[in-house]
Structures are given as C-alpha cells and as structure tokens.
A and B are shown apart, each in its own frame.
Chain A
Amino acid sequence: MDAHETVRRDIAHLLSEQRLATLSTCNAQGHPYASLVAFDVTPDLAGIVFATSRATRKFANLMDNNHAAMLVENSRNLKSDIYEAMAVTALGTISELSGTSQETAVAHYIRKHPHLTKFIQAPSTAVLQMAVDVFYLVNRFQKVMEYHVGRKADPAAGRDPAG
C-alpha cells in the first residue's frame, strides 16, 4: 500500500471509529470558540456531518463565519498517547443541509449515533456539514501529513449558513 492509500485509510479509520470531534469556530469579531460535537463522515471523506441547536454559540459563530476546524483524535489519557495516539484536523467550510441531502445525511448519522435520533430530528436542530478542504493527519508525535480530498460539486447539498 502506498503512502497515499495508507494516509487515506488511517483517516477513514479514525473518523469512523471516533464518535466525538472538537469543533473550532470563530465569530465575526475574530473570537474563537471550541465545542464538542457528535459527528459522522461521508463515505468519500469529503464531508463531516454534525448537528447543533440553532440557539448555540457555535451555530451563531458559523452564521458569522462559515470557516471552521474539527479535531478528531484517539488518545486514551495515557502517557503512551504521545507516540501511540493519532489525530486528524479537518479544515473546511460549513453549510446547513436541507432536502434530500439532509435526509441522506441524517439517516447515515443515526446509524452511527442511534441514541441521538430525537436530537437530530428536532425542529430546532440544524444539520450541518463541513465540506473538507484538507485533512492534517498527525501520528508518532510529530509526523504531519496533509491530505486533500477532491470535492464533488453538489449544488443541492445545502445553503451557506452565513449567506
């Protein structure tokens, strides 16, 4: 397996095995905020789906600025994490899903997080998707690889929450 395939496999594995990600957003004044979200990843790795109440600060920040980062990692709070843990940082833009895109994403999301069915289906919840520009995979403490995912254009995929 070449390096390209290895990195893609490692990213896909981490994103499918982990349930929570740290979402970093920024408001219009440039103030940062970090929060924990339950996420799901699309099979092509191009999108990361999560949900939040429209009343949350992260949603407000995304209304101001749809650029965000998400961190997913598998540390176990052990000393050996420093060389055993793996982390993926995804950078991209976030939009709210609607219509069939939302239905497909929610169905997939519920398979990973069945206990969050009511939460994601609530009228006050926004279903959001990060269109990933780039992943940074960090392992062995300091090795960092940059993986660019090609995005397939899908005009119906959703609307820009800031737009």
Chain B
Amino acid sequence: MSGEKLILPLAAIRPDDIALAGGKGCALARLEREGIRVPFTIVVTTGAYQLFVDTHGLQERIFLELNRKAFADMRWEEIWDAALRIRNLFLTHPLPPALDHQLQDSLDRRFADRAAVIRSSAPQEDSAAASFAGIHESYVNVRGRARIVDHVRRVWASLWSDAALLYRQELGLDPESSSMAVLIQDLVVGAYSGVMFTVSPMQDGHSVIEAVPGLNQGLVDGLVMPARWILDRDTQAVVSHTPSTQSQAVFPADQGVRVASLAEPARQGDTLSSREIELIAEQGRRIESLFGAPQDVEWTLFDGQVTVLQARPVTTTAAAKSDKRGWYLSLRRSFENLQQLRSRIEDELIPTMNREADELAAADLDVLDDEALAAEVRRRVDRNQHWSNVYWTDFIPYAHGARLFGQVYNDVIKPDNPYAFADLLADTPMESLARNRQLEELAGIVRAVPAVADNLRHGRLEHLPSSFHAALDAFVAQYGTLSSGVTGDREGGLADSTLVRLVITLAERSPQPPIRKSVDHEALVREFVEAFPAEERDWAWSLLDLARSSYRLRDDDNIYLGRIEAQARRAVRAAAARLAGGGSEKAGAALQEALALMPLEKAASPDPDPAISPESSLQARQLVGQPAGPGMARGRARVVRSPGDLKAFQSEEILVCDAVDPNMTFVVPLAAGVVERRGGMLIHGAIIAREYGLPCVTGVPEVMQFVRTGDLITVDGYLGIVIVSPSSPGADRASTSA
C-alpha cells in the first residue's frame, strides 16, 4: 500500500473508492462534491488499517483466535472473550512510523484542540443489502491527538467485536476480506439533530423525520425519545406528528457525551419549525436522487442550515424484517442501563427472592391435607419457574457489568493480559466462598478430633460432640446436605450425605493456608482510577463498584435460586412420601399430578459414546479449549455428570464437568484443576478456579465425550489445552482397540 493512501481528505475520495474509504466515507465525499454541507472529514483509509495489521502480524493472530475451534462450537461468551483478546491486540500495538507520522500531521493541522467524531466506515457496511448501523463503533466528542488515535484503534477493533463477528457470520460475509476505514470529523453541535428516512421502513409512500434536541447520539443509542414527523413522500406534506415527551437530551461533556435535563421551554416537544422540516425533507430528496435509492440520512441543524453527518441506503422493507441487528446490538449494555438493572436486582429482586425462600422454608408442610399439599407443590413449582425466568431476564444480562468494566479497563490501562481486569473483581465476598470457608472450618474440627472423624465415617451422628453437631446443623440450615446439588436441599438425610463425605475428605488432607493472592488489589484499583482525568474518577469508581456487584451476583444468584428450588423439592418429596403412605384416591391423583411437575432426579450429562467400532477406536490426546485460569496441573479426572458424582470427589483430582454452577462448587477447594465443556472466562467454573488459584480450561467441546473418571490428565491453563495421558491405570475406559 503506497504511503500517500493512508490518510486522505474527503475531496480526494472518488465514488468507486469504497474498498479504500468505506461506504460512509464515499457517500460523504459525494455529498461534499455536490455542495451539500457535511462536517470537515479526514479518512484514515483501509490502507492504514492494513498497514497496522500487517506490521504486527495481527491478521494471523486474529485468525488463530477465531480458529481454535469451529466457530459454530463457540458459545457467545467465548466469542466475546476472543473479541476482547483481539481488541487488546489493537490497543497494545504501536502505529507503524509512516502511519503515525501522517496521522499526527493531519491531526495537528485540524484536531490539535478541536473536538472530533470518530466513525467506522467499513467497505462491507452500509450497502443496500446489509446495514451494519450500530454494529461497528463510532465515538462522539473525542479531544486530544492521543485520544483520537486511541479511538481510531477502537474503531478498527470493532470490526472484530462479538456483535460484528456474529453478524458477519449471519450474512455469510468472509471475515478474511474484512477491513475498516475510519472517518475523523469535526464535531458539529447543532440545536437539533436527527435522522430522515426518505422512504419509511413502515410504509412506502411516506418519509420519516425524527429529531432530538442536542446531539444525535441520544436518538441513535435509544437514550432519548425523538419527536417524529411522517411526511407524504410525493408532496412532502406532514401527514402526522408525534411530539417528544422527553425531558432529557445528549450533549457534549468534557470528553464524550452526557445525558442532561432540558430546560422547560425545550420540553414542549415541537422541536422543529415547519421551515426546518421542509429544509430537511428537501435535503433528503436531493440525496436520494443523487444516490438513486432511498436514504437513511443523519443530520444536524447548525446555524439554521442542515449539516449531513452521514447517509446510507435504507435496507429494503423485506430485508429489514429479517434484520437481526437488534439481537446483536442487545449484546451491549450501557453503564446507565446496567445501573438501573442493578437497582432493580439489589433493591427489589434479591430481597424479595430471599424473603420468599425463608417463608417457604418456615412453612410446615405436615399440617397440610393431601389436596392442600398438592396445591402447595404446584405453587412452589410455579414460584421456582418464576424465579428461574427472572434469572434469565434480569440476572444473566447483569453479567454485562463485569464485561463493560473489562473493556473500559483494557481501554485505559492497555494491559498485556486482556483478562487482568478480573484481578480487580476477584476477592469479592461471594456466597459460594463463604460456604466453602464454613466447610473448611467443619473439616478443621474433624481433623483435630479423630473420634469425630470416626463417628462421621460410620454414620454415628448421635455420638458427635454437641458443639460439632450444632455447627453441622447450622451449615445444613443454610446450605443443605449438598447431595442434590441444590443449595438448601436436604435430600437423603445427613448421615450418608455428600456434606458428611466432603467434610471427611477435606479433613483427611492437611489444613489449607488461606487462598494466596498474588496481586496487590489496592495498587491495581489505584492504577485504574488514576488513569482517568480527575473529573471522571467518580465515574471510574462507580463502574468498578458496578462490576464487582455484577461479578458477585453472577455467582450468588444461583445460590439464591437454589434455595427457592430446594423448597419446591421439599414439597415434592413430602408429596411423594404422602403418596407412598396411601390416602384417598382423589387426593392421590392430585398429588400424582403435582409430582409430575418437577422430577427430583436432575438430568445428568449423557454418558460418553465410546464410538468404538469392532476394529478401531478413538481417543483424545490433546483437546483445545480456552485458557480460563493460569497454571498447570496433572491429576486424575473426576468427571461429574450429575450432582451425585460430587460425593466421590477426592483431593487433588481434576474436576471435569459439562457446566458447574455455584451450587456444586464446594468440591473446588479439593481440586487440582478445573475443566469445563461450556466456554467463557466469566463462567462459574472459571470464576471459582481463579478464586482458588487453580488452572482452568473452559470451552472444551469434546471433554465429556473423551475424558473419563480416572484418566490421567494435564490441565494447561496458560494455553487452554487438556492433555490426556496415553495410558491411564485405574481408568474405566472401554476397550481401546480391536
């Protein structure tokens, strides 16, 4: 790529330069040539992107990331993780000198002390067939050369975001040919801004104008409800008008934008005069006729004139119907949205949920007659379903808090390890860790008094010292017997429970020192907060606080949900016992019906398919996942297919599972490493492995098929691989060859 093509003024872009300047860049260049007012713009071409990527060999590193396993086998969490690692490549590598020199020179001339807007302009985006609107990043009000360059990198990286990767896959676009130009523009702060669809996506004979006070960002990001005018496409007459009831708008802050309340006169809703509507409509028509197709035009009104910020084809109505960008865009959550979600979760949902679990636990089911018991089972199963729905609709999206923090942390700190941010989140008080500490305390008593261990082993609970019995009862009251993998459930009684077995196993090993933390949390937090200018540090603290809450809840919510489920299971067990004891036929039918609502046996992961033909066999030697906890460990695998398998867990075994949840992570302190089929750096297995400093690999698609309890395996948490030793004495492997 020749050097002079790295940075270009708009005037140098020709209509057929889409491969160099992207769709947005070419459209703006055309508008400028036609005398339509557009912001001053320089184009950082795809040549600059390619030079940066080629200089550091990033294309190969990106594809190595994306080809560790089949894209179809990657869960969204894994794609997000890969996107985070790729983003870090763009943030941490220096610009090649030739590009750096040209860019600095261009910025010196125009943007030394002028606010800029940094927009994506990928050649693949903004075609009539596929709109990438909102998929790639754009940034409004960026000041200072260093910050502008940083934001150019972020726009480049957004080519490889989770949403962009998934969206391109959906459209069948080849990632290998993906590239990105970036527009650096003057920030034009008009009195009002908005969009115009020259053909309404809803009705062909209409055009639509939407307007908000201040910056367009409020409308585009969905933060501010716009006023709307529907126009007749032929006559441009206003067909209908919906005033805005919004009392807020988006304005430039020192850096970036802020949502601010509007003064009273601006709240009246009639943001545009009829003359202004005519001006915008006229401009829209002109642009449509220039490009020969209906257009989606972003504009702002400045000095009484329309400035066009960008124009792109309206995707056809049929295409719009199948456009799934909304789903991909929902993968991102704003800080404000997450703060609202946090209030709802912490102030309403969790207190209500815990109160309900306590009330259910306190109710005496023995006093209910058969029909009342059947009704109670139905009610509890319903409540369990209700809270399970809340888990998916509210709790799961809140996990984005930790992800948002991770991205911001990487933007400002630029660490070599893109997951360094997790060190600032670890060490938060989590329910599962508190439970595990209590287990260690019980084990400490057993270790100190051999008679206690002996009585526990032989199920002689009545011979236990009363103080130990009381401690055991207190644990059961809070967490249950651990046998069913549901927190608070007391299935099967205490004597032969997973709890008792686990306490004995924990006691058999020497006392464990407190979990070693190799990082200085305070120093990390200081470094993070001080990376922000003084006026933004409060926000940085708030973000960190939000992330810690999100990280903690990611684990705790399962425990809370477990307590509700335990109470449903208690009622189901009571009904089953009642049925076994006989009773009236009518009541029996009601109980039977209620029991069918909730099977007590949890579905186990399917047994591995040995896949052995009469004359050949297949084994895994090395399986690939994602590194989710640094370190290496070698040990016997304990493959957990159902909660019952946890009871046999031995010290220094490797926990191998489909998906571990916090109701089952009480064995992790015994483990030497963790391997999970489900992938992600912020899933439960990875979170708890990091807390205990254990090597962890997640996202190993075939692990449950090819690894069996007793196999000698090595977990390489640095590289994200699991090595299965060729001979594994003690393994219950099926015959290996004909």
Contact = CB atoms under 8 A, between A and B. Distances in A.
Contact of B620 (A80, A84, A146): A146
B358 interface: no
A84 B67 contact: yes
A4 B611 contact: yes
A7 B617 CA distance: 10
Interface in A1-24: 2-4, 7-8
Most buried by A among B67, B69, B613, B706: B67
Contacts of A147: 616-618
Given A2-B611, A3-B618, A4-B613, A142 B60 contact: no
A145 B615 contact: no
Contacts of B616: 4, 8, 147-150
Contacts of B68: 83, 140-142
A144 interface: yes
A2 B621 contact: no
Given A4-B611, A80-B60, A84-B67, A142 B624 contact: yes
A136 B59 CA distance: 29
Most buried by B among A8, A136, A141, A152: A141
B245 interface: no
Contacts of A150: 613-616, 737-738
Q: What range describes how many residues of A lie at the interface?
A: 20 to 34
Contacts of A79: 57, 59-60
A133 to B, nearest CB: 9
Contacts of B621: 136, 144-146
A140 B67 CA distance: 7
Most buried by A among B63, B615, B721, B738: B615
A52 to B, nearest CB: 28
A138 to B, nearest CB: 8
A8 B706 CA distance: 16
Interface residues of B, number: 32
Nearest to B721: A142
Task: Please classify the interface of chain A as helix (H, G, I), strand (E, B), loop, or mixed, using the class held by over half of its residues.
Answer: mixed
Given A2-B609, A148-B737, A150-B614, A83 B67 contact: yes
Most buried by B among A7, A141, A146: A146
Given A2-B611, A84-B67, A140-B68, A146 B624 contact: no
A82 interface: yes
A149 B736 CA distance: 10
Interface string B668-711: 00000000000000000000000000000000001001100000
Contacts of B702: 3
B622 A143 contact: yes
A143 B69 CA distance: 9
B64 interface: yes
Given A143-B622, A145-B619, A147-B616, A83 B705 contact: no
B618 A7 contact: yes
Most buried by B among A79, A143, A147: A143
Interface string A35-69: 00000000000000000000000000000000000
Given A82-B64, A148-B617, A140 B726 contact: no
Most buried by B among A80, A142, A147, A149: A142
Nearest to B65: A83
Contacts of A140: 67-69, 624
Interface string A72-91: 00000001101110000000
A66 B503 CA distance: 55
Nearest to A134: B737
B622 A4 contact: no
Contacts of B618: 3-4, 7, 145-148
B67 A149 contact: no
Contacts of B705: 3
A10 B258 CA distance: 56
Contacts of B620: 144-146
Interface of A: 2-4, 7-8, 79-80, 82-84, 136, 140-150, 152
Interface of B: 57, 59-60, 63-64, 67-69, 609, 611-624, 702, 705-706, 719, 721, 726, 736-738
Given A82-B64, A149-B616, 14 more contacts: A3-B611, A3-B702, A4-B617, A7-B618, A83-B63, A140-B67, A140-B68, A142-B68, A144-B621, A147-B616, A147-B618, A148-B737, A148-B738, A150-B613
